[in-house]
């Protein structure tokens, strides 16, 4: 697979779980739909066009990253219901000082060359999460041909499926600073495909993903890539 990586930084980022409304917790890392949107913004595509582009070219994504802190933002808003207006509040979680390495891969080098060029001169502003969460591209790698290998050790990344019963923690508490937050793997059922009718979209498929925080070792290795010092499972 031909892969490029993006080293990104954002002052704040928020990755909302779709079913959460008035209280919106954030995922620790961007889900695949957010990464598709990031690619689409660089290419100048709408979200439905970005989904179609991903399917046509069999594009896969990987991510590894961390943040320095968390915060909650309180919004007051007015909602109109029939002939009355109601005041309500919404709380949204954010991660702060977010850094990540994002991998984008495809079978054809020409497709990846197009994506690389788009990130060097993106059509739209790049964000991770809400439209206010602007992303700084610190580094855009060259496109490289990477070989898939078996790996068992992962941290601060996203893996496909439910891996919660298939790992052993490898963090050494004796060597861990008091300020370090230990994060066990979390599993979320997230959208991966949609149907579009005009401006409306509906979720057509969901899949399980495991968000890994602190270092773990899987009992059975999985196929992943080691690119530019980072280890990714490429997700489709």
Q: Which of 54, 27, 50, 36 is nearest to 157 (CA)?
A: 27
Rounded Cα–Cα distance for residues 146 and 229 (Å): 12
Question: Residue 182 — pLDDT band, cuts 50, 70, 90?
Answer: confident
pLDDT reading at 18 higher than 90? no
For the chain, the structural domain boundaries read 2-232
Q: Give the model confidence (pLDDT) of 71-82 as tens digits.
A: 999 988 887 777
Element (H, E) at 1: none
- Contact, 179 vs 233, CB < 8 A? no
pTM, 2 dp:
0.91
Percent of the chain exceeding pLDDT 90 equals: 71
How far apart, in whole angstroms, are the C-alpha atoms of residue 130 and residue 200?
18
Integer Cα distance of 140 and 43 in angstroms: 15
Per-residue pLDDT band at 177 (split at 50, 70, 90)? confident
Q: What was the pLDDT predicted at 84?
A: 80
Nearest to 72 by CA among 31, 12, 138, 28: 12
Cβ atoms of 20 and 88 within 8 Å: the answer is no
Interval 83-103 mean pLDDT: 90
CATH node for 2-232: 3.30.70.2660
Q: Judge contact between 42 and 135, C-beta under 8 A.
A: no
pLDDT of residue 14: 93
Whole-angstrom distance, CA of residue 38 vs CA of residue 47? 9
What 3-state class would DSSP assign to 214? coil
């Amino acid at each position: 697979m031909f892969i490029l990586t993006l080293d990104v930084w954002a002052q704040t980022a928020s990755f909302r779980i779709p079913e959460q409304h008035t209280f919106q917790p954030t995922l620790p890392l961007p889900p695949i739909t957010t990464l598709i949107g990031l690619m689409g913004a660089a290419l100048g595509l709408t979200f439905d066009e970005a989904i179609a582009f991903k399917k046509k070219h069999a594009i896969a994504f990987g991510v590894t990253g961390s943040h320095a802190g968390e915060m909650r933002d309180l919004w007051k808003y007015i909602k109109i219901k029939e002939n009355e207006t109601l005041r309500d509040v919404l709380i949204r979680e954010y991660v702060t000082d977010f850094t990540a390495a994002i991998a984008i891969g495809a079978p054809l080098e020409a497709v990846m060359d197009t994506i690389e060029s788009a990130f060097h001169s993106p059509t739209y502003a790049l964000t991770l999460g809400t439209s206010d969460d602007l992303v700084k591209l610190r580094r855009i790698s060259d496109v490289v041909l990477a070989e898939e290998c078996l790996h068992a050790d992962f941290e601060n990344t996203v893996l496909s499926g439910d891996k919660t019963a298939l790992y052993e923690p490898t963090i050494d508490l004796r060597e861990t600073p008091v300020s370090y937050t230990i994060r066990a793997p979390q599993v979320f059922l997230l959208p991966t495909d949609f149907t579009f009718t005009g401006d409306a979209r509906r979720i057509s498929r969901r899949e399980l993903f495991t968000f890994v925080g602190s270092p773990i070792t899987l009992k059975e290795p999985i196929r992943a890539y080691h690119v530019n010092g980072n280890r990714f499972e490429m997700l489709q």
